[in-house]
Amino acid sequence: MDGAGGNEYVVIVIASTGLIQVALNNVSLNLTESGAVATGGWYHIAIVREKFTHFIYLNGRLASTLLSGAFNFSTCQLLVGVDADGTCNTTLGNYFDGQMDDFRIYSRALTQVDVEALYALGN
């Protein structure tokens, strides 16, 4: 994130409603229907950014696309599983309450075939 609530992806699992949501710079969308998320289940989520288009995959299938302006990550460090305050480095909060496995960051945009192959590795 950039410290001001921008340049960030937020993946949210809402246990009370059984939804998985993804937010890009405070624009949220539901990837699942209400009641679809099972407690204790594993879900494969891939977010691929190619210039100003963000492709969001759930369990190997394209779930949605979002458009944004340019991302600039030069002002803050990369954080995973936690949110930073406005200065990027003093107060951390909103910790991820769950488990992540095989978290990856690539230096290139993955194709749909790439994402499908990664999802198939877990099956």
Q: What is the sign, positive or negative, of the torsion defined by CA atoms of 65, 66, 67, 70?
A: negative
DSSP label of 6: -
Mapped onto helix, strand or coil, the DSSP state of residue 24 is: strand
State the pTM of this model.
Answer: 0.77
pLDDT digits (tens, 9 = 90+) for 84-106: 766 666 678 778 877 888 889 89
Mean residue pLDDT across the chain: 78
pLDDT digits (tens, 9 = 90+) for 14-65: 767 777 777 776 677 777 776 677 777 788 889 888 888 888 898 999 988 8
Residue 53 has phi, psi (to 5 degrees) of -110, 135
Beta carbons of 32 and 18 less than 8 angstroms apart: yes
pLDDT at 112: 94
DSSP label of 86: T
Please name the helix (run of DSSP H) or strand (run of DSSP E) that holds residue 108, with its range, or none: none
